[in-house]
Structure 1
Amino acid sequence: MKKTYRMQRGIISFVLIIIFLIIWGFMHFIYPMIVKKITIYEFPAIDSKLFLLPIGMIILGLLLGWSIRNKLWKGIPFAFNYYRMTRRLRRHIKDARFEDEREFDNRLVKLPKIKILFDCNRSRISGKVFIENSIKFDQKLEKMRIDSALRGYVGERNYLSDDRDWYVFEFYAVDSHKQIEFKTKDDYLSWTNITASDYSLRLDERATVPFHHLGLAGQTGSGKSFFIQMLVDQVISKKVKHELFIIDPKRTDVFQMSMRFIGSDRTADKTTAIELIKKFHERMLKRQDELQEYFKKNSNKTYRDAHLPALILLIDEFGALRESWKILPKKERDEVDSILADIAFMGRQIGCILWTATQQMNAQTMPTAVRDQLVLKVVLGDSDEQTYRTLFASSVDIPPIRFSAGLGLYSYPELASVDKPKMLAVPYCSYLE
């Protein structure tokens, strides 16, 4: 079996320790007996403890090297966890023949360097594995999955570092995607406030994002309706009094929630949806005029810098609603599409946010002009391939796993790219039932 240089150093160290232990045993037990029995020659007095000194130095060197490699200064549990992960990764990489054969008749191999960086050293629920890149293994590393080498963790996506010297593999703990249950609204809101500000939303244990245009897709039973109600709860609870305009063409739970907490003047069903969309658009144009003077004096600022509330237009079952507009004159349909495109295109800086939710995502259910402006993209539950490719990207990489209700994928700039979205585990709010 071929050995790595680290294995060779370890073997040499343990052989030296055994040799010095044998010498120490000889000098401590046998040598004094020889001195006593042989009197014709005066043997020099030798302290056997001298032979324990190199043993101690070797052990100290091994411990020091292990401590530095595994970052012992971050805590003993961290160091042992780091050691187990790197050891398992090295073994799997060696078995996969990611090795550089060296001298001694090709009996020694050099493995690429491996570093692990956790997002939080205490919880260690997610992080990154850095594997040194090389010309020889560049293509292999690009296609490699490290899931099987990460016991208790799952690989999420991989990419090259900025300097191209390392391949970066992001991972998360399997347990981190178990849905948290909240039995009261207060418990849920307290949890969201840990990471979310007045202008951001907490989606799950790992993801907290600023207010932005949202595209949400999910089949019946995916947890989509619960997720919408949870987002509404978050927005309503903020210290900044954001304005919600909600359209639910089916008059289901979202509609009833809006009627209770927001009121009929900013709630609509299928019959009054267009009227509310136009009302929101008028409010957006008014907001635009309000901010003109502020933007003249403050460049590269947004509504948040002006301490203004967000105006959020939430349209549930957008695909079904748009399908119902087919009976309208083409001029009126085009006008509504133009208004929605205008909101999506102009609304971000002035705080006019568009949230759309639909069961399926395709060219018929969502206008391209609107879809291209959606920044936060979420698919809950299992969905069809067309929905993934339409909402995220045609080259999207969907992991071959089954998504139950409340589990899915999301993308957001700097957190998860559209071609490699990340896992999302929305909390289960049983108080909504």
Structure 2
Amino acid sequence: MESWKNGVKAPFFWDTDKVPHILLSGITGGGKTILAQMIVNQLLSEHKSISICDFKAGGDWDSISSNYAEYKNCDKLLDTFYNSFVETIEQKSKSEQYLIFDEFSSYALSKDNKEFKELMAKISHIAFMGRSFGYRLFFVSQQFNSKVLDTAIREQFGIKMFMGSTISTESATMLFPNCDIDKSIQGLKKRNMKIQNILQINL
């Protein structure tokens, strides 16, 4: 797959051992789901174990993986994924597992306060310790603000992508905190940042 880095077209390689988690954000119709499906199809071609949650049940994912859930059923699939993660830790083993979550922000914001705290505890646990035990998170949403993922969790996602020709100041600040920001994707300028921590995709 090809991407843009500082205006130059270049290959994009996801080294899941070094950078286990991805955040993919962008405007409506910007191509988030298509890009996510491209990545997932490559993982499936390598026979990886993938669980997919599609909170808004848009029909984009229902024939890709047998481990699939929509809307409220995402609770059960997430619990299954998390319990498997905890069991792997207890056994001191490693199991390569991927959780793809489309419209994660909408899902998180649908929770009441107690449910939200429980959800964040699980996500935080996987985000911080998943690399050591083979568990990867790939979250897709229009935006990931502080109401959804706090800074500590968000910074565990070593690859952050934005799909679209423009980006709001808030979104840019949340996703790319080490960049000088204007309202154009082309205006994001790296400032002492490792290359895997930002991926700019211009349409």
Q: Distance in 2 between matches of 1:219 and 1:336?
A: 25
Q: 2:51 maps to which residue? A: 245
The CA deviation at 1:323 is 1.5
TM-score scaled by structure 1?
0.41
- Corresponding residue to 1:280 among 73, 81, 88: 81
* 3-state secondary structure, aligned to 2:52: strand
Contact 1:268 1:276 in 2 (8 A): yes
Contact 1:325 1:333 in 2 (8 A): yes
Contact 1:274 1:336 in 2 (8 A): no
The CA deviation at 1:415 is 2.2
Could you say if the C-alpha distance between residues 414 and 339 of structure 1 is closer, same or farther in structure 2, counting changes exceeding 3 Å? same
The CA deviation at 1:372 is 2.4
- Corresponding residue to 2:118 among 323, 327, 335: 335
The CA deviation at 1:287 is 1.9
Query: 1:188-231, CA deviations, whole angstroms, 9 ceiling, x for partnerless residues?
Result: xxxxxxxxxxxxxxxxx422121211111111011101011111
Q: 1:352 maps to which residue? A: 135
Larger Rg: 1
Cα RMSD (Å) of the superposition? Answer: 2.8
Larger RCO (CA under 8 A, 6+ residues apart): 2
Q: 1:141 maps to which residue? A: none
Q: Considering fraction of residues, name the structure with more helix.
A: 1
The CA deviation at 1:378 is 0.7
Q: 1:233 maps to which residue? A: 41
Contact 2:162 2:200 in 1 (8 A): no
Q: 2:179 maps to which residue? A: 396
> Deviation above 6 Å: which 4+ runs of structure 1?
none
Q: 1:320 maps to which residue? A: 106
Contact 1:337 1:367 in 2 (8 A): no
Q: How does 1:301-316 map to 2 (within 5 A)?
A: 303=94, 308=95, 310-316=96-102
Q: Distance in 1 between matches of 2:199 and 2:102?
A: 23
Q: 2:145 maps to which residue? A: 362
Could you say if the C-alpha distance between residues 247 and 367 of structure 1 is closer, same or farther in structure 2, counting changes exceeding 3 Å? farther
Contact 1:409 1:422 in 2 (8 A): no
The CA deviation at 1:416 is 4.8
TM-score scaled by structure 2?
0.82
Q: Is 1:210 the counterpart of 2:23 in the alignment? A: no
* 3-state secondary structure, aligned to 2:56: coil
Q: Is 1:415 the counterpart of 2:195 in the alignment? A: yes
Contact 2:179 2:189 in 1 (8 A): no
The CA deviation at 1:155 is 9.3
Q: 1:297 maps to which residue? A: none
Contact 1:380 1:409 in 2 (8 A): no
- Sequence identity of aligned pairs in percent? 24
Letter in 2 for 1:229: Q
The CA deviation at 1:349 is 1.3
* 3-state secondary structure, aligned to 1:216: strand
